[in-house]
Chain A
Amino acid sequence: MYARPMWKRSSSRWTLSSSGAGAQPANQPHNAHRFAQSEAATVYYRWHPLYGQSLPVQGRQKVPCGEYVFVRMESGATCGLPAWMLSAACATFVLGAPPIATDALLELAHSAERLAIRPAMR
């Protein structure tokens, strides 16, 4: 799988030190664009099959339930993950009794939906 990329500063430009996908030569024109293309994301959610891997980001998409980040896997296939699975806070998740009743949270979500607080799908 992809090695965790290391960002290095070369002359006045930032580049990926790994030779994996997304690495660009320092003299690459339109570097800002290339920089965006070579963004990598680490999967911190331990119950996801890609846990622990850093993968190049291909794009993002807003959905009614949040945001999806699309990463490119070693096979070349694209995989969409909820953005929250890429948050470092996920690394602290553990199995156990929920501190808040899930039924209460679901009821709150449904109430919010009824009040049209949740943004409509676009």
Chain B
Amino acid sequence: MFDRWLAPKPQPLTGAPAIRRQKTYSGQSGYVYQYYYEGHRPYKRDRKSGTEYVFDVSADRKTSIAVSVLVSDSALEDWQSRHGRTLHASERYAVAKMALFQAFDERPNPAAMSADVHVRAADVEAILIALDIE
């Protein structure tokens, strides 16, 4: 309990569009999710730092949960060092969004979406190949 009190207050989210746009994703799991992009902020957890992308997700149009997609700096640095360039903000967002879609596809039900989505170096590589980004 004290850990939560002592933990630094998360920074406010930035980068969301002024007017929230609801999007729909039909998952391979059979669930149809509706989501909004809420914004992103830096994070530091378990000795890892990176960017947390937050999405408001609903599967029943009544209740929604905030889903965090954690893209660690180390996962991006791996790709960036091999390709000799820095990923643009839009490309990093694309990685986060594709990771969210992958979770929609692979997690068996909406309850499982409450867990954070962690993007590893291998995920970054696979997603950027799929998006044809070099």
Contact = CB atoms under 8 A, between A and B. Distances in A.
Nearest to B106: A65
B108 A106 contact: yes
Contacts of A48: 26, 32
Interface in B15-48: 24-28, 30, 32
Interface stretch (A4-12, A13-21, A28-36, A80-88): A80-88
B108 A82 contact: no
> In which size bucket is the chain B interface?
10 to 19
A65 B129 contact: no
Interface residues of A, number: 19
Contacts of A80: 25-26
Contacts of B105: 63-65
A111 to B, nearest CB: 15
A96 interface: no
A120 interface: yes
A102 interface: yes
A1 to B, nearest CB: 15
A122 interface: yes
A122 B30 contact: no
Interface of A: 45, 47-49, 63-66, 79-82, 84-85, 102, 106, 120-122
